[in-house]
Amino acid sequence: MNKIFKMDELDQTKVQEIQEFIDKVENKKGDIIKILHFAQEHYGYLPKELQLYIARAVDLPASKINGIVTFYSFFTEKPTGKYTVAVCMGTACYVKNAQEILDEFARLLKIGPDGLSEDGLFSLISVRCIGACGLAPVIKINEKIIGHVTKDMVKGIIDDIVRQERGD
Ligand code: FES
């Protein structure tokens, strides 16, 4: 039996904007990736309830929507921080101590490898090769790539962002 989606758990204003976008898309099933991209940009992430809403709006099975969301790494089902720290765990980075860097971020931000910091400022994820192996080990903070990262640099990277946020 299908789970009844709980609209009241969703931000109604954002859902309305997503519905307006869906209404304008002619080929809703064919352009489902485009719709999910818009939904994620507007909502910040794609919670299960929103996936169910979209599934009904475009007349596709919820399992199909969830399959797409979980297949593509650029979609996320969890809320993300203002800054997403992506630590590359591809081979070139892994052999240059990427795990140590991931662990240090997790320790200092007090979050798990796929978690969100308590203040909502940071999320931490591990990703596959991001195509900058010459700079290994590499991290990406939102769109900014930082190469040759060491464990000792992690605190400074976090502090810079926090300072910037405080306007220091
Ligand atoms: S393995 Fe990390 S950028 Fe390629």
Instruction: Give me the tens of pLDDT residue by residue for the chain, a chain 168 residues long.
Output: 344 445 557 889 999 999 999 999 999 999 999 999 999 988 989 999 999 999 999 999 999 999 999 998 789 898 888 899 999 999 999 999 999 999 999 999 998 655 788 888 999 988 999 999 999 999 999 989 999 999 999 999 999 999 999 887
From 96, 130, 149, give the residue whose CB has the most ligand 1 atoms within 8 Å, as the site to mutate.
130
- pTM, rounded to two decimals: 0.70
Report how far apart, in Å, the C-alpha atoms of 97 and of each of 30, 46, 88, 103, 145 are.
Answer: 42, 32, 10, 10, 17
| Protein residues whose CB sits closer than 6 Å to any atom of ligand 1 | 88, 90-93, 129-133, 136, 138
